[in-house]
Structure 1
Amino acid sequence: MSTMNISLPDSLKAFVDEQVSQRGYGTSSEYVRELIRRDQDRLQLRNLLLAGASSAPTAPAKDAYFDSLRERVRGGIKIQPKA
């Protein structure tokens, strides 16, 4: 694992220390790693949304499609939507 040192103003250092204490992180490094992971996830989601927005339109989804999704979420049997 690589090491990175950062400099923070006192107010940000106090905020990080407070978050570590209140949210159950073992160290400030754990807290910063979590922030970086969340930012990576956010960027990945943004890229997926942009890719979807720029993709060619498809046929509108029918009610049966959403019914099958609800069943899957509820743990029911997977129902294949009819075209």
Structure 2
Amino acid sequence: MNVSLPDPMKEWVEAQARTGCYSNASDYVRDLIRRDQKSHAAHAELLELITAGLESGISTTPMSVMLEKARAKARKTDTGL
């Protein structure tokens, strides 16, 4: 696959490759694509969670209980448990 870029973009990609973080311009472009794929996947997951939340209806659980559950879950995630 060949991609044509305007000179300023080409210079940017080549500069990123020269930083030493990437072995060449193709490596930099592959990294951008991987990041974009992850971003799209995260966005799709977020939309699914929002939709599920909206479709689940109104909760009768008090906010204080929901917050404590969320904090406990975050603590587990932070400690790797």
CA distance in structure 1 between the partners assigned to 2:46 and 2:71 by the alignment:
23
Instruction: Say yes or no: does 1:62 pair with 2:66.
Output: yes
CA deviations on 1:28-74 (whole Å, 9 max, x unpaired) are: 11100000011111111111111112222364562431242243134
Q: Aligned residue for 2:10?
A: 13
State the identity %.
31
In structure 2, list runs of 5 or more residues that go unmatched.
none
Query: Which protein is richer in helix relative to its size?
Result: 2
Q: Aligned residue for 1:81?
A: none
What amino acid maps onto 1:42 in structure 2? S
**TM-score normalised by L of structure 1:** 0.71
CA deviations on 1:4-32 (whole Å, 9 max, x unpaired) are: 11111211111101111125200111100
Q: Aligned residue for 2:76?
A: 72
**TM-score normalised by L of structure 2:** 0.72
Aligned residues: CA RMSD:
2.3
In structure 1, list runs of 5 or more residues that go unmatched.
79-83
